[in-house]
A = this chain, B = another copy of it.
Amino acid sequence: MGKVKVGIAGLGRLGKLHANNLAFKIPDAELTAACSIVPAELEYAKEQLGVADVYADYREMLEKADIDAVAIVTTSGEHCWQIEAALDAGKHVFSDKPLGITVEECRTAEAAVERHPELTFFLGFMRRYDPSYAYAKEKIKEGAIGTPYMVKAAGIDPEALAEGAIKFAATSGGIFIDMAIHDIDLMRWFLESDPVEVYAAGATFKHPEFKEAGDDETGAAMYKCENGALGFVHVGRTAAHGYHVETEIVGTEGSLRISPVPEKNLCMIYDKNGAVKECVSGFPERFAESYQLEMAEFIHCVQKGAKPDVTVYDGTKSTQIGFATTKAWKKGGIVKIEY
């Protein structure tokens, strides 16, 4: 198989990022079509990405464009039907996370994936492709920390983004749906077991606007897994130092911690403040390479017929766990998780 021809759906901030990777940084990919309901985004496609074949309608792109695959980077509520439509049209599918925003939707996507075992379906949990996370997984497989039995995760957006998050708070689904989905996926990935119970709570100490919108500024959830392993996830929106994503995996023979200092680069400055590591400003800086690597892996899977590490079921489960966590947080108690 030659270069994989891809049509992108959605050209917002993340869509542009994926589109640029497809257009310029993945040798075996070719970005041949783009679709968006925002005219300016189609202009962008033409001018910045050199994609002439653009569509305002997703189904029309599926029908007419010269594409082997689609990359779905639309708003979360559109993912599932677009996945189904693309697979039924014979296209390989990359979809950004989350899989969907209701379990029913996710089941529809699952069924579509099951109907088309000949096609690649790839779900964009890009953290799994981050070199440090991938290395951690590899080391754990090699036995570096024995059997992993606990994951402690933190994902905290920078204070600089708080204002935007406040605007979005009433409709975001709440902090766990909005922010914890990656941590939940990583917890399952590292522990190789599913959480069956969750306890959660939230707090708002800096921006009362979150509380007023029915949301919280900080969320914490503790999980018990089927095999007895434990999980703890802390999400927040007000990190003063930058974008803080940290994960620790505790095992019987050691622990492995990823990014306790979310350093911007390898510089250490010694100045009047002390010995200072500056930190990354946000996810585009922290995970730039991950986005590129996951897309390269998608293309590789399409070309080779290889199975991605992440499955559609991982997508459904992380959504289910996100909802269960939200329920526990809202009602202030324990929620059992069933799949």
Are B230's CB and A222's CB within 8 A? no
Task: Tell me, in angstroms, the Cα distance from A80 to B48 when the chains sit together.
Answer: 38
Are B273's CB and A268's CB within 8 A? no
Are B254's CB and A271's CB within 8 A? yes
Task: Looking at the assembled complex, report how far the CB atom of A133 sits from the nearest CB atom of chain B, in whole angstroms.
Answer: 9
Question: Counting CB contacts under 8 A, is A56 at the interface?
Answer: no
Point out the residues of chain B lying under 8 angstroms from A136, CB to CB. Answer: 267
Are A266's CB and B276's CB within 8 A? no
Task: Give the number of times this chain occurs in the complex, counting copies.
Answer: 4
Point out the residues of chain B lying under 8 angstroms from A310, CB to CB. Answer: none
Task: Looking at the assembled complex, report how far the CB atom of A285 sits from the nearest CB atom of chain B, in whole angstroms.
Answer: 10
Point out the residues of chain B lying under 8 angstroms from A261, CB to CB. Answer: 268, 275
Are A222's CB and B224's CB within 8 A? no
Point out the residues of chain B lying under 8 angstroms from A232, CB to CB. Answer: 220, 222, 232, 234
Known A222-B201, A253-B240, A254-B241: A274·B270 in contact at CB below 8 Å: no
List A250-291 residues whose CB lies under 8 Å from chain B.
250, 252-279
Task: Tell me, in angstroms, the Cα distance from A150 to B217 when the chains sit together.
Answer: 12
Are B228's CB and A267's CB within 8 A? no
Residue A277 contacts which of B204, B220, B222, B275 (CB distance < 8 angstroms)? Answer: B275
Question: Counting CB contacts under 8 A, is A203 at the interface?
Answer: yes
Task: Tell me, in angstroms, the Cα distance from A244 to B272 when the chains sit together.
Answer: 13
Task: Tell me, in angstroms, the Cα distance from A268 to B254 when the chains sit together.
Answer: 11
Question: CB-defined interface of A1-42 with B at 8 Å, one 1/0 digit per residue?
Answer: 000000000000000000000011101000000000000000
Most buried by B among A147, A266, A273: A266
Are A270's CB and B252's CB within 8 A? no
Question: Counting CB contacts under 8 A, is A95 at the interface?
Answer: no
Task: Looking at the assembled complex, report how far the CB atom of A76 sits from the nearest CB atom of chain B, in whole angstroms.
Answer: 27
Task: Tell me, in angstroms, the Cα distance from A25 to B21 when the chains sit together.
Answer: 10
Are A135's CB and B265's CB within 8 A? yes
Point out the residues of chain B lying under 8 angstroms from A25, CB to CB. Answer: 25, 27
Are B270's CB and A244's CB within 8 A? yes
Are B205's CB and A131's CB within 8 A? no
List A84-118 residues whose CB lies under 8 Å from chain B.
none
Question: Counting CB contacts under 8 A, is A144 at the interface?
Answer: yes
Q: Please, could you name 18 A-B residue pairs with CB atoms under 8 Å apart, sorted by A?
A: A131-B265, A139-B269, A145-B240, A152-B152, A152-B234, A203-B228, A205-B252, A232-B232, A240-B255, A241-B273, A241-B275, A242-B274, A254-B270, A254-B271, A257-B260, A258-B267, A263-B266, A276-B277
